[in-house]
Structure 1
Amino acid sequence: MAPRGRPTRLNPGTTPPPVTDTHTTTSVTSAQLQAMIDEGVTAVLAARATTRNGDDSHTSGTGVRRNERAVRECTYQDFMKCQPLFFRGTEGVVDLTQWFERMETVFRISNCTVENQVKFATCTLMGIALTWWNSHARTVTNEVAYAMTWSDLKKKMTTKYCPRNEIKKIEAELWNLKVKGTDVVAYNQRFQELALLCDRMFPEETDKIERYVGGMPDLIYSSVVASKPKTMQEAIEMATELMDRRN
């Protein structure tokens, strides 16, 4: 018997046993091979499509990754660079209206967030207007004061700096406002200034359009009405264009 761990030596003339192959050879036809390749390609394409659809924010329709620019939040410095107007509380109705208009323009061009509108806008108050705002903030706390919406701030300031008798005068002027001669540009400006302070006169946009068109001169009135403007901007553009053609 051969020692353990050493191979057995065969006697001379002995035929070694046949070697058994442990691997089975499988015959694959060309058609089967092509089917396997096609299946693999289909799987790869499906995986790519899933990845692309699941990450649309980073890829274009061609599968090329897009370079996106993060929009930076408007800071107070960004806001002030857009040159908002200051308001002291002694300038009167027209200046308050202009302050409102300019502030809304600055909100747009500076990308000021809704959450920061009142906080940044009230930083432009000066004199008695600033004293009034600080008193209000102390009464309701800063958190509540700055949580106010821009629309609510406008209403509060209109109530404070446009006494009821003044509002009545403005409403009367707006109700009787008409284009003088052919100066529709001046009419547009004055109408918009007054309309900002007379929201209660126009529950719907159509009410404001009707009053605006009512101030048009006869030579363009019918044409503006026939155009059936759906917004104030459409009405203003149509009236201005028609008057320019007449002049």
Structure 2
Amino acid sequence: MPLRKAPRTRTTPTTTTNTTSVTNAQLQAMIDQGVDATLATRDANRSMNGEDSHNLGMGVRRTERVARECTYQDFMNCQPLFFKGTEGVIKLTQWFERMETMFRISYYTVENQIKFSICTLLGVALTWWNSYVRTVGHNVAYTRTWTDLKKKMTCKYCPRSEIKKLEVELWNLKVKGTDVLGYNQRFQELTLLCVRMFSEESDKIEKYVGGLPDMIHGSAKASRQKTMKDAIEMATELMDKKISTLAELQAGNKRKLDNNNQAQQQSPKR
């Protein structure tokens, strides 16, 4: 009986695998490099497409704050002045100044400047405006500029005869007693309206100094200020010092008088 051959054993080759260990720091660096490359590619694509990315650092888009346009409620919250048309030239000037201040500090469009300011007209002033709207039409009236509105209201409520009276008042204006603050306020109000009286700043300063009292007139004139602001500040400072000196003299005289009275009362007893 023939012998059975032993089965051939198949030998499988052993595969040797070399494993390289990666630390956490190295892994994080590889991730960061991949992120940087992705962001750089995205920014390059945006630049090619004409997008304004305003990138900061590594592709982070900066968020810009856009100013919000003021609404009518915002306007009323600023407490605007109202004008009835019967208050006179000074009140109209103050109304102009208040409106322009609100326009400067807030974001009002040109159209809203007219619409919002008209809402502060009352009485005969509102009647005058409504009559003007009926004459030229709503679209024309509300597309006028603020400068146009100021000119129309000045012609209406600042007639030449009224301006002439104010010019006479300004020419004769002087400080009453030691009230330089009251003089300053009235002088500035009148010069805003009587613009024809002074062609140069120096002329206005000369008239202002000429209305100061004798106690500070010489010092104010000798200072030779170049602007109205400096002249007003100088005159106010001089008057404050003069009033303080007078108060000290009065206090000293009062003490002397009190001491004399006490001495006279004690003399009979002696």
Tell me whether the two structures share a fold, i.e. TM-score over 0.5: yes
SS of the residue aligned with 1:77?
Answer: helix
Gaps of 5+ in 1: 1-50, 52-56
Q: Could you tell me how far apart the structure 2 residues matched to 1:134 and 1:101 are?
A: 23
The Cα offsets for residues 104-132 of structure 1, whole Å up to 9 and x where unpaired, read as 33333434455533332121111211111
**Residue in 1 aligned with 2:73?**
77
Pair 1:141–1:182, CA change in 2 (3 A): same
CA deviation after TM superposition for structure 1 residue 88, in Å:
1.3
Task: Please say if residues 84 and 126 of structure 2, whose CA atoms lie closer than 8 Å, have aligned partners that are also in contact.
Answer: yes
Q: Could you tell me how far apart the structure 2 residues matched to 1:79 and 1:190 are?
A: 29
Q: Could you tell me how far apart the structure 2 residues matched to 1:204 and 1:150 are?
A: 26
Aligned with 1:221 (options 217, 222, 245): 217
Are residues 1:90 and 2:91 paired? no
CA deviation after TM superposition for structure 1 residue 171, in Å:
1.0
Identity across matched positions, percent: 72
What TM-score do the two structures reach when normalised by structure 1?
Answer: 0.64
Q: Could you tell me how far apart the structure 1 residues matched to 2:217 and 2:64 are?
A: 49
CA deviation after TM superposition for structure 1 residue 198, in Å:
1.9
Q: Could you tell me how far apart the structure 2 residues matched to 1:238 and 1:67 are?
A: 48
**Residue in 1 aligned with 2:267?**
none
After the TM superposition, which residues 46-195 of structure 1 pair with which residues of structure 2 at under 5 Å, given as runs? 68-195=64-191
Pair 1:117–1:243, CA change in 2 (3 A): farther
CA deviation after TM superposition for structure 1 residue 177, in Å:
1.0
**Residue in 2 aligned with 1:17?**
none
Q: Could you tell me how far apart the structure 1 residues matched to 2:142 and 2:198 are?
A: 28
The Cα offsets for residues 194-214 of structure 1, whole Å up to 9 and x where unpaired, read as 222222333444443333333
Aligned with 2:205 (options 205, 209, 214): 209
Task: Please say if residues 67 and 107 of structure 2, whose CA atoms lie closer than 8 Å, have aligned partners that are also in contact.
Answer: no
Task: Please say if residues 82 and 110 of structure 1, whose CA atoms lie closer than 8 Å, have aligned partners that are also in contact.
Answer: no
Gaps of 5+ in 2: 1-46, 48-52, 244-270
Task: Please say if residues 83 and 106 of structure 1, whose CA atoms lie closer than 8 Å, have aligned partners that are also in contact.
Answer: no
Task: Please say if residues 82 and 109 of structure 1, whose CA atoms lie closer than 8 Å, have aligned partners that are also in contact.
Answer: no
Task: Please say if residues 132 and 141 of structure 2, whose CA atoms lie closer than 8 Å, have aligned partners that are also in contact.
Answer: yes
The Cα offsets for residues 78-116 of structure 1, whole Å up to 9 and x where unpaired, read as 111111111111222333233233323333343445553
Pair 1:132–1:67, CA change in 2 (3 A): same
Are residues 1:237 and 2:222 paired? no
Q: Could you tell me how far apart the structure 2 residues matched to 1:133 and 1:168 are?
A: 26
Task: Please say if residues 177 and 215 of structure 1, whose CA atoms lie closer than 8 Å, have aligned partners that are also in contact.
Answer: yes
Paired letter, 1:100: F
Q: Could you tell me how far apart the structure 2 residues matched to 1:217 and 1:83 are?
A: 38
Paired letter, 2:116: F
SS of the residue aligned with 2:85?
Answer: coil
Pair 1:210–1:75, CA change in 2 (3 A): farther
Paired letter, 2:231: A
Pair 1:67–1:188, CA change in 2 (3 A): farther
